[in-house]
Amino acid sequence: MVKSLKIITYPNPNLRLKGRPLTQEEIISPETKQFVNELSKKMLKEDGLGLAATQVDRQFRVFVINTPDGVQEFINPEITYRSWLKEKGEEGCLSVPGIFDYVKRHRKIKIKYFNLLGEQKILKARKMLARVIQHEYDHLDGILFIDKLAKK
């Protein structure tokens, strides 16, 4: 399933494609484990805070983020809560190299997702963690951070 992942960059039209959810069988498959491992390696190699499957031209609802506790995978994520309060923060993107700007995002979120064991998890995130999750989540819907710049 995985051979040397390559990050696609803007204006590649495939960045606008939406990821499809994985079935329960796919979530726990060896192929998904291998893909998530390769996605994680690519993110760390490129010094990213997160990386979505759609950024490597795989239309799955999967992303990984780099946390102080290590890499965490999010499979079939769904943001179930967004705080009313938002805050501006600087963002960049491995798929939009060389561009950094401020984006308003929800300060707190709650996200439901599956891990590689097929277990459903719920995570409450705030501040920077919430920002990174929202950024990667947007990728799964074909949304780039530069789409939000005009809405400052």
Q: Which residues belong to the active site?
A: 136
Could you tell me the residue ranges of all domains in the chain? 23-151
pLDDT of 25 above 60: yes
Question: Cβ of 4: how many Cβ atoms within 10 Å?
Answer: 7
Superfamily of domain 23-151: Peptide deformylase (3.90.45.10)
pLDDT in tens, 53-66: 999 999 999 999 99
Nearest to 62 by CA among 107, 85, 31: 31
The pTM assigned to this predicted structure is: 0.95
Rounded to the nearest integer, the mean pLDDT of the chain is 95
